[in-house]
Amino acid sequence: MKGGKSKAEVKDSKLAVKKGKTKKQAKDPNKPKRPPSAFFVFMEEFRKQFKEKHPNNKSVAAVGKAAGGKWKSLSDAEKAPYEAKAEKRKKEYEKSMQAYNKKLAEGRNIADDDDESDKSKSEVNDDEEKEGSAEEDEADE
């Protein structure tokens, strides 16, 4: 290239620009879902009320905006039942996560042992194959 950067330098600079995660971890479908916050517990009831008052409304944004305004206008005493429900769901979630993590740890320990034993077997087999092929090469010559 004339007077500029070489292809390798251009390529390196393009690679350096990329940011973010390169690999995503697969989500476990058995993992418990996180519990909703007090606002989202409130939203469950508010959506029903809003839909009754505005049956022709198809906009999710309008419902969210109205709910946000209503939530901000509520006093602490009015928010208390929603916060209590959210706290109850959070405790249930923590229990289910403990059970999930326990099962995961038990499953992983068993799987890890199997993986290690398979790995060591394959390494031994690879070494034997290399030695055998070297002897065969010498015999062929």
Q: For residues 88 and 110, what is the distance between their CA atoms, to the nearest angstrom? A: 34
Helix (H, G, I), strand (E, B) or coil at 115: helix
pLDDT of residue 107: 81
pLDDT digits (tens, 9 = 90+) for 2-42: 556 666 555 555 555 555 656 777 888 889 999 999 999 99
pLDDT digits (tens, 9 = 90+) for 106-134: 887 655 555 455 555 555 555 555 555 55
Tell me the mean pLDDT in the region 64-85: 95
Q: What is the pTM of this model?
A: 0.56
